[in-house]
């Protein structure tokens, strides 16, 4: 890997990828949205002409799940149609494209973890936009891409559910958290490490990468406050309770746990349990920020 470019450089996953790349001896070129809007083909072409990337990580994404219900055009443009353009440019320049998908492409009706090629059925505008991006790669007659489907991301840089829980708890805000949506909380540092493990094995195609073991949002909230040493009550509620409070929110899958058996075999190691990752996240935040 001689030239690594990261688009969407200000995001929390991009920070983790840049840090991991540097730790492994690379010198990534991190490009923020202000310098490259991925919905602009001329701006994308300029990136390829200037930097000649060998590997391009696309961390530019529309992530506002609820807002996407009324901003679907914008979500589709960033998460969907731009990926088709990006893929075409990567193919033309013989660049490996690393793109990140979402568990929200599934309908949540499964009773066991979703595998890579289980049938999608997004319930929300956000999930539909992420599926558009996947389809842009899966339908193309070109295989120089690595599509990593992940879920419930959090990291030290940027806004995330665990950080929000800590901030609200420290302000003594009453917390009522959904306990009947089950998924796969994932630490950006672990996703970044796994991404580079796959790249070092010259891996392409579609893979699930999440921390192991399922959790509800309530489980994640409780574990986060424990990791930060905060004693604050959290009331478990149902999705129906939450929708009564916020009826305009997007529909989320009730069950979106991702199966990581394939990537575990490929890397030769399992993804670590999410509770261990939350402890590590808390330690890093306290050390770096005194948070």
In the chain, how long is the greatest CA-to-CA distance? Answer: 55
Q: Do the beta carbons of residue 166 and residue 231 sit within 8 Å?
A: no
Q: Is the dihedral of CA 184, 189, 191, 193 positive or negative?
A: negative
Cα–Cα distance for residue pair 104/131, rounded to 1 Å: 9
Q: Do the beta carbons of residue 139 and residue 191 sit within 8 Å?
A: no
Residue 1 pLDDT greater than 70, yes or no: no
> What pLDDT was estimated at residue 245?
86
> What pLDDT was estimated at residue 168?
96
- Domain residue ranges of the chain, discontinuous segments joined by +: 4-217+247-289
Enzyme catalytic residues = 126
Backbone angles phi, psi at 287, to 5 degrees: -65, -45
Residue 194 pLDDT greater than 90, yes or no: yes
The 8-class DSSP code of residue 61 comes to -
- pLDDT tier for residue 246 given thresholds of 50, 70 and 90: confident
| Mean pLDDT estimate for the chain | 95
Backbone angles phi, psi at 8, to 5 degrees: 75, 45
Measured between alpha carbons, how far is residue 210 from residues 19, 21, 39, 113, 267 in Å? Answer: 19, 19, 28, 11, 13
Q: Do the beta carbons of residue 83 and residue 132 sit within 8 Å?
A: yes
Structure-token pair, residue 165? 């829980």
Beta strands 55-58; 182-183: pairing state: unpaired
pLDDT one-digit tens code per residue, 88-147: 999 999 999 999 999 999 999 999 999 999 999 999 999 999 999 999 999 877 789 999
Beta strands 186-187; 234-237: pairing state: unpaired
Residue 291 pLDDT greater than 80, yes or no: no
4-217+247-289 CATH pick, 3.40.50.1970, 3.40.50.720, 2.60.40.1260, 3.30.2320.80: 3.40.50.720
Residues in the chain: 291
Q: Mean pLDDT throughout 159-167?
A: 95
> What pLDDT was estimated at residue 121?
97
pLDDT one-digit tens code per residue, 24-74: 999 999 999 999 999 999 999 999 999 999 999 999 999 999 999 999 999
> What pLDDT was estimated at residue 25?
93
Q: Do the beta carbons of residue 179 and residue 238 sit within 8 Å?
A: yes
> What pLDDT was estimated at residue 226?
97
- pLDDT tier for residue 18 given thresholds of 50, 70 and 90: very high
């Amino acid at each position: 890997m001689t030239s690594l470019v990261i688009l969407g450089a200000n995001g929390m996953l991009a920070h983790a990828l840049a840090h991991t790349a540097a730790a492994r001896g690379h010198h990534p070129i991190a490009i923020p949205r202000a310098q490259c809007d991925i919905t602009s083909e001329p701006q994308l072409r300029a990136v390829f002409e200037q930097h000649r990337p060998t590997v391009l990580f696309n961390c530019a994404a529309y992530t506002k799940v609820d807002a996407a219900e009324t901003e679907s055009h914008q979500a589709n443009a960033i998460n969907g149609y731009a990926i088709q353009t990006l893929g075409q440019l990567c193919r033309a320049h013989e660049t490996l494209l690393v793109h990140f998908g979402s568990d929200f492409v599934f309908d949540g009706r499964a009773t066991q973890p979703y595998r890579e090629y289980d049938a999608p059925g997004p319930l929300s505008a956000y999930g539909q936009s992420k599926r558009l991006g996947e389809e842009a790669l899966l339908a193309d007659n070109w295989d120089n891409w690595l599509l990593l489907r992940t879920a419930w991301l959090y990291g030290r840089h940027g806004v995330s559910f665990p950080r929000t829980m800590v901030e609200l708890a420290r302000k003594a805000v009453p917390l009522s958290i959904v306990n009947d949506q089950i998924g796969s909380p994932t630490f950006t540092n672990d996703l970044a490490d796994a991404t580079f493990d796959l790249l070092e094995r010259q891996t392409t195609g579609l893979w699930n990468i999440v921390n192991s073991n399922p959790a509800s949002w309530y489980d994640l909230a409780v574990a986060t406050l424990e990791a930060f040493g905060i004693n604050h009550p959290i009331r478990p509620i149902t999705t129906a309770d939450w929708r009564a409070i916020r009826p305009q929110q997007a529909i989320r899958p009730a069950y979106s746990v991702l199966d990581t058996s394939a990537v575990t075999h490929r890397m030769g190691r399992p993804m670590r349990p999410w509770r261990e990752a939350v402890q590590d996240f808390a330690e890093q935040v306290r050390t770096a920020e005194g948070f």
